[in-house]
Structure 1
Amino acid sequence: MQSNFVKKAYAKATENPAIILSIGFFVLISIGGLILSTPYVTRNGKATGIIDAFFVAASASCVTGLTPVNTAYHWNSLGHVVIIILIQIGGLGIMSLATLIPLLLRKKIGLKSRQILKEQFNIDSLSGMINLFKYVLLFTILTEVLGAIFLAIRFVPQYGFGKGVWFSIFHSISAFCNAGFDILGDSIYPLRSDALVNTTIMLLVIIGGLGFMVTSEIYYRKNFQKLSTHSKLVILITIALILVGALGFYFLESIEGGVLEGEGFKGSIFESFFQSVVARTAGFYSVNLSKIKESTALLLICLMFIGGSPGSTAGGIKTTTFGVLVIATISVIKKEKEPIIFKRSISDQSIKKALSIFLISLAIVILVSFVISVTDGFKFIDILYETVSALATVGASRGITESLSNIGKVLIGLCMYLGRIGPMTMALAFGLKAEDKMIKYPEGMISLG
Structure 2
Amino acid sequence: MKLLRKRRKYISPPALIALSFLFTILIGTVLLKLPFATKVPITWVNALFTATSATTVTGLSVFDISSTLTVFGEVVLLLLIQIGGVGLMAFAVAILIILGRKVGMKNRIFIQETFSYQSIGGTVKFLREILLFVFITEGIAFIALSIFWVPEFGWKDGLYYSVFHVVSAFNNAGFFLFPDNLMPFAGNPEVIIILSGLFVIGGIGFVVVMDVIQKKSIRQWTLHTKVMIYGTLILNAMTTLFLLIMEFHNHKTIGDLSFLDKVWTSYFQSVSPRTAGFNMVAMSDMEESSLLLTLLLMFIGGGSASTASGIKLTTFIIILLTTLSYFRGISEPHMFNRTIKTEIIFRSMAVAAVSSGVIFVALFLLTMTEKMPFLPLLFETVSAFGTVGLSLGITSDLSPVGEIIICLVMFLGRIGPLTLFFLLIRTKKESYHYSYDHVHTG
Q: Give TM-score scaled by structure 2 length.
A: 0.97
Alignment partner of 1:134 out of 123, 128, 135? 128
2:366 aligns with 372
Matched AA of 2:434: Y
Contact map agreement 1:41 1:76 (CA 8 A) in 2: yes
Alignment partner of 1:56 out of 50, 60, 67? 50
2:262 aligns with 268
Once residues 8 and 372 of structure 1 are traced to their aligned partners in structure 2, the CA distance between those partners, rounded to angstroms, is: 41
Is it true that 1:319 corresponds to 2:317 in the alignment? no
The alpha-carbon deviation at position 404 of structure 1 amounts to 0.7
The alpha-carbon deviation at position 440 of structure 1 amounts to 1.5
Corresponding residue SS for 1:410: helix
Is it true that 1:10 corresponds to 2:8 in the alignment? yes
Is it true that 1:38 corresponds to 2:34 in the alignment? yes
Alignment partner of 1:195 out of 166, 189, 198? 189
Matched AA of 2:223: T
Once residues 73 and 383 of structure 2 are traced to their aligned partners in structure 1, the CA distance between those partners, rounded to angstroms, is: 24
Once residues 309 and 273 of structure 1 are traced to their aligned partners in structure 2, the CA distance between those partners, rounded to angstroms, is: 19
Contact map agreement 1:252 1:258 (CA 8 A) in 2: no
Corresponding residue SS for 2:272: helix
Contact map agreement 2:117 2:123 (CA 8 A) in 1: no
Contact map agreement 1:217 1:227 (CA 8 A) in 2: yes
Is it true that 1:176 corresponds to 2:174 in the alignment? no
Tell which deviates more after alignment, 264-273 or 302-311.
264-273
Contact map agreement 1:187 1:285 (CA 8 A) in 2: yes
Alignment partner of 1:442 out of 413, 435, 440? 435
The alpha-carbon deviation at position 162 of structure 1 amounts to 2.1
Q: How does 1:320-399 map to 2 (within 5 A)?
A: 320-399=314-393
Matched AA of 1:428: F
The alpha-carbon deviation at position 58 of structure 1 amounts to 0.4
Corresponding residue SS for 1:279: coil
Once residues 407 and 343 of structure 1 are traced to their aligned partners in structure 2, the CA distance between those partners, rounded to angstroms, is: 50
Once residues 265 and 200 of structure 1 are traced to their aligned partners in structure 2, the CA distance between those partners, rounded to angstroms, is: 21
Is it true that 1:416 corresponds to 2:410 in the alignment? yes
Corresponding residue SS for 2:120: coil
Contact map agreement 2:187 2:262 (CA 8 A) in 1: no
Contact map agreement 1:297 1:381 (CA 8 A) in 2: no
Contact map agreement 2:116 2:207 (CA 8 A) in 1: no
In structure 2, the CA distance between the partners of 1:94 and 1:256, relative to structure 1 (3 Å rule), is: closer
1:21 aligns with 17
CA deviations on 1:41-78 (whole Å, 9 max, x unpaired) are 1124x3x1001101000010011100101111110110
1:106 aligns with 100
Alignment partner of 2:156 out of 152, 162, 165? 162
1:204 aligns with 198
Contact map agreement 1:19 1:430 (CA 8 A) in 2: no
Once residues 322 and 189 of structure 1 are traced to their aligned partners in structure 2, the CA distance between those partners, rounded to angstroms, is: 30
Alignment partner of 2:141 out of 113, 123, 147? 147
1:241 aligns with 235
CA deviations on 1:170-220 (whole Å, 9 max, x unpaired) are 111110000011112322111113211111001001110111111111112
2:253 aligns with 259
CA deviations on 1:405-447 (whole Å, 9 max, x unpaired) are 111111111111111111111211232233x432211122222
Matched AA of 1:189: M
Tell which deviates more after alignment, 122-131 or 246-255.
122-131
Once residues 407 and 245 of structure 2 are traced to their aligned partners in structure 1, the CA distance between those partners, rounded to angstroms, is: 33
Matched AA of 1:186: D
Once residues 3 and 93 of structure 2 are traced to their aligned partners in structure 1, the CA distance between those partners, rounded to angstroms, is: 29
Alignment partner of 1:292 out of 281, 286, 289? 286
Q: Unpaired segments of 5 or more residues in structure 1? A: none
CA deviations on 1:50-108 (whole Å, 9 max, x unpaired) are 01101000010011100101111110110110000000000111211110111001122
Contact map agreement 2:188 2:261 (CA 8 A) in 1: no
Once residues 439 and 9 of structure 2 are traced to their aligned partners in structure 1, the CA distance between those partners, rounded to angstroms, is: 42
CA deviations on 1:340-395 (whole Å, 9 max, x unpaired) are 10000000000000000000000111111111112112221111111111111111
Once residues 122 and 186 of structure 1 are traced to their aligned partners in structure 2, the CA distance between those partners, rounded to angstroms, is: 37
Contact map agreement 1:66 1:390 (CA 8 A) in 2: yes
Q: How does 1:86-105 map to 2 (within 5 A)?
A: 86-105=80-99
Percent of pairs with identical residues: 34
1:122 aligns with 116
The alpha-carbon deviation at position 231 of structure 1 amounts to 0.2
In structure 2, the CA distance between the partners of 1:8 and 1:444, relative to structure 1 (3 Å rule), is: farther
The alpha-carbon deviation at position 125 of structure 1 amounts to 2.2
The alpha-carbon deviation at position 11 of structure 1 amounts to 3.7
CA deviations on 1:220-241 (whole Å, 9 max, x unpaired) are 2143222110000001111122
Once residues 218 and 66 of structure 2 are traced to their aligned partners in structure 1, the CA distance between those partners, rounded to angstroms, is: 42
Alignment partner of 1:401 out of 382, 388, 395? 395
Q: Give TM-score scaled by structure 1 length.
A: 0.96
